[in-house]
C-alpha cells in the first residue's frame, strides 16, 4: 500500500487533529489549511465548500470528501463541472438526528411542553382533561427518507411498537431482511392516509422542496403527528401552520425552520417563521440542533467518520456515502 496525500482545507482544532492522526493509517499524509501545498499532488481534498482553485490545483485529485452530511449548493455547482472527481460525505450525526426525532415525536404525542408549562404555573388541571396524549404502540409511522437517519428513526419507532412504512428514492436499495415496508416516492399519496406519524428525514433538493404541502397534509389522519428533522422547506410553511392552527393534524415536532439568524447578534431575536408557530400549543419547537449542536460527542464521531473514509481511500476500498451530484445528495 502506497502513500495517500490528503489536503484538509479547514485546519481542525488541535485536539480534533490529534484524534484524526491517531486513527489514520500509516500511509496517509496530511497537508492543512487554506493555502495550497507547494506541490499540490493530493488525491483527496477534504472541504465542505471548496474553491475552484483547490479543485483544479492537483492533477491527481480523485475524491472530494465533505466533512459533514449534505451537499452545499455552491459545491454542487462546482462538482457538476468536474464529474471525474467523486464526491463523498459523512453521516456522523445520524444517531443525534434520529434521537431528537424520537424526542420530538414523543413530546408531541404526550403533550409534554404544554403540560410542563402548566405545572410550572402550579396548574394541575390538564392532568384531568381528556385526550392529552396518544399511544404510539400499534400505530403506523411513515418515514420519508430511509437513509442513515431514517433507518435509525424507523428502528426507534419499531421499538415503540409501531409498524413502519418508508419512502426512499430507490426502494430496491433497502437492506436485505429489512423489517420495514419500503416504497418509492410515487406511493406517497397512498401511504399518507394510513400514517399516524409522518417523520421527515430526507435531503433538501429541487425534487423535495415543498414535497409536503396543503394536499399532502390534508391526506393525513386528523390525529397524525408530523416530525421534521430534514430541512424546513421540504414542508410548505403556510400549509403546515394552517394545518396545525386549524387542528387538521394533531401535532408537530419541528427542528428545521424557514428563517435563520444572519449574524451572532441576530441569534436572540430572530423568529424562525413568518407565522406564529410559538402561539400554538400543539407544536414542539427545536432550534435546528438534531445533527449538529448540543451533543459533545459529535465532534469525536465526526473525526472518526472522516478517518474511516480516508482510510478506505488509502486501502483502495469503497469509500462510504457516495454523493449523486446530479440528484443533489
Q: Structural domains in the chain?
A: 4-92+296-315 (3.40.50.720), 94-285 (3.40.50.720)
Could you give phi then psi for residue 178, rounded to 5 degrees?
-60, 130
- 153-173, pLDDT tens digit by residue? 999 999 999 999 999 987 666
124/127 Cα distance (integer angstroms): 6
| Burial class of 276 by CB neighbour count within 10 A (0 to 12, 13 to 18, 19+) | exposed
185/195 Cα distance (integer angstroms): 15
* Helices of type H across the chain: 14-23, 52-57, 73-80, 94-110, 112-120, 148-159, 188-191, 214-219, 237-245, 298-315
Burial 144-173 (b: 16+ CB within 10 A, else e): bbbbbbbbbbbebbeebebebbbbbbebee
Closest CA to 320 of 299, 302, 306: 306
Could you give phi then psi for residue 290, rounded to 5 degrees?
-60, -40
Q: Give residue for cell 464529474.
A: 83
The tens place of each residue's pLDDT in the chain, 329 residues long, gives 579 999 999 999 999 999 999 999 999 999 999 999 998 999 999 999 999 999 999 999 999 999 998 899 999 999 999 999 999 999 998 999 999 999 999 999 999 999 999 999 999 999 999 888 999 999 999 999 999 999 999 999 999 999 999 999 876 665 556 778 999 999 999 999 999 999 999 999 989 999 999 999 999 999 999 999 999 999 999 999 999 999 999 999 999 999 999 999 999 999 999 999 999 999 999 999 987 655 567 888 899 999 999 999 999 999 999 999 998 88
Q: How far is CA 230 from the centre of its chain?
A: 5
258/234 Cα distance (integer angstroms): 10
DSSP string, 115-179: HHHHHHTT--GGGGSS-S----TT-EEEEE--SHHHHHHHHHHHHTT-EEEEE-S-GGGSPTT--
Amino acid at each position: 500500500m502506497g502513500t495517500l496525500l490528503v489536503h484538509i482545507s479547514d485546519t481542525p482544532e488541535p485536539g480534533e487533529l490529534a484524534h484524526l492522526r491517531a486513527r489514520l493509517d500509516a500511509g496517509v499524509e496530511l497537508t492543512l489549511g487554506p493555502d495550497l501545498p507547494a506541490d499540490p499532488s493530493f488525491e483527496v481534498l477534504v472541504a465542505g465548500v471548496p474553491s475552484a482553485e483547490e479543485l483544479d490545483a492537483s492533477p491527481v485529485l480523485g475524491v472530494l470528501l465533505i466533512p459533514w452530511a449534505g451537499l452545499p449548493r455552491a459545491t454542487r455547482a462546482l462538482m457538476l463541472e468536474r464529474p471525474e472527481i467523486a464526491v463523498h460525505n459523512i453521516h456522523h450525526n445520524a444517531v443525534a438526528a434520529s434521537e431528537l426525532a424520537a424526542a420530538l415525536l414523543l413530546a408531541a404525542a404526550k403533550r409534554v411542553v404544554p403540560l410542563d408549562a402548566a405545572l410550572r404555573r402550579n396548574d394541575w388541571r390538564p392532568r384531568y382533561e381528556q385526550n392529552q396524549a396518544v399511544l404510539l404502540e400499534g400505530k403506523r409511522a411513515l418515514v420519508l427518507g430511509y437513509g442513515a437517519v431514517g433507518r435509525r428513526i424507523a428502528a426507534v419507532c419499531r421499538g415503540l411498537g409501531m409498524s413502519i412504512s418508508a419512502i426512499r428514492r430507490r426502494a430496491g436499495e433497502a437492506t436485505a431482511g429489512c423489517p420495514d415496508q419500503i416504497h418509492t416516492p410515487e406511493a406517497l399519496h397512498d401511504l399518507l392516509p394510513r400514517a399516524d406519524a409522518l417523520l421527515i428525514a430526507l435531503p433538501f433538493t429541487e425534487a423535495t422542496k415543498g414535497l409536503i404541502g396543503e394536499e399532502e397534509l390534508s391526506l393525513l389522519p386528523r390525529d397524525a403527528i408530523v416530525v421534521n428533522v430534514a430541512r424546513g422547506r421540504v414542508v410548505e410553511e403556510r400549509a403546515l401552520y394552517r394545518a396545525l392552527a386549524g387542528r387538521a393534524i394533531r401535532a408537530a415536532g419541528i427542528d428545521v425552520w424557514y428563517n435563520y439568524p444572519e449574524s451572532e447578534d441576530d441569534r436572540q431575536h430572530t423568529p424562525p417563521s413568518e407565522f406564529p408557530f410559538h402561539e400554538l400549543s400543539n407544536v414542539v419547537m427545536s432550534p435546528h440542533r438534531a445533527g449538529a449542536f448540543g451533543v459533545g460527542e459529535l465532534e469525536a464521531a465526526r473525526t472518526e467518520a472522516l478517518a474511516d473514509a480516508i482510510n478506505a481511500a488509502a486501502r483502495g476500498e469503497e469509500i462510504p456515502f457516495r454523493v449523486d451530484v446530479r440528484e443533489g445528495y
